[in-house]
Amino acid sequence: MKPVILVTRKLPDAVEDRLRRDYDPRLNPGDVLYSADELIERAGDVDAILPCHTEKFTAEVIARLPGRVRAIANFSVGYDHVDVKAARARGIIVTNTPEVLSDATAELTMMLLLGAARRASEGERLVRTGTWKDWSPGFMVGTQVTGKRLGILGFGRIGQVVAKRARGFDMEIHYHDVRRATPDLEAGAIFHPTPEAMMPHCDFLTLHCVSTPETFRLLNAVRIALLPDGAIVVNASRGAVVDDEALIGALKSGKLTAAGLDVYTNEPDIHPGYRDLPNVFLMPHIASATKETRDAMGFRALDNLDAVFAGREPRDRVA
């Protein structure tokens, strides 16, 4: 008998083909977002669950899962949607998919950075709506990226790739993380022991930290005030690491020139203030949305499930 796997969202064809080959999957061809009650009901006869970040495995949900469920193999690098403490207490293995989405996320980060700096969303609206009239020296003037200082908050795999890409624009790299990277990983980047120490050196600031109680609203009004006037902020990590009211206030006041955002609190019901600001370049949480990366995420999740059902320690266990 093949293990039964509940797959909560529509996955890439290649991933679902492998699921059908090796497991007995309960697929979601309509890509319906299940409620907590529906999730519990559909998990009634399964051995593991392969969810995305859209499903919330709170302590209450985990407590209601049938005892047959052995693993939650996330199709995501972030796992803040899972109460890992509750899962651990139930003896449920939790895994994620690190490494495979670093390049795609770094690419989108650079797109957000450039789009915010060069006023891409404003320019596109002018062209699409027919309100672009003529050219003048003061028309659509943005911020040049080349040669500027980039602060990276969270210098893990994604932050390091962002630094590598940014060096192509001759940017001076600054970073903060809980520990200093080795010289080969720094590659000349300048370490700051606290976020506060780094902020004054950031013409651009990108956020690449996981969502934890310690990083909740890490970018707040106090730290924004330490940024140079006219700085640009980019977030492709998790919405919870930003204080929305503080960021919106700084964008309105002119303290910040612009922002580029791919993630938000309470997605997709984002803070309405962002929609009203012309100086925010908005994307709908698509940092990993390339065919290559989505396939790789699925295969990584399945590698973890393969290990669980073979009695081995999964490579990406987080609980």
Overall pTM > 0.85: yes
How many whole angstroms separate alpha carbon 203 and alpha carbon 274? 21
Per-residue model confidence (pLDDT) at position 65: 97
Q: Which domains does the chain have, with CATH numbers?
A: 4-99+291-309 (3.40.50.720), 102-282 (3.40.50.720)
Residues whose CB is less than 8 angstroms from the CB of residue 115 and which lie 6 or more positions away in sequence, other chains included:
121, 260, 281
Residues identified as active-site: 238, 267, 285
* Helix 102-117 and helix 157-167, axial crossing angle in degrees, nearest 10: 50
* pLDDT-based confidence at residue 278 (cuts at 50, 70, 90): very high
- DSSP state letter for 212: -
Sheet (strand 4-7) strand order = 24-26, 4-7, 48-50, 71-73, 93-95
pLDDT digits (tens, 9 = 90+) for 224-261: 999 999 999 999 999 999 999 999 999 999 999 999 99
pLDDT digits (tens, 9 = 90+) for 304-317: 999 999 999 999 99
* pLDDT-based confidence at residue 96 (cuts at 50, 70, 90): very high
pLDDT digits (tens, 9 = 90+) for 139-182: 999 999 999 999 999 999 999 999 999 999 999 999 999 999 99
Is the peptide bond between 268 and the residue preceding it cis, with omega within 30 degrees of 0?
Answer: yes
Per-residue model confidence (pLDDT) at position 140: 97
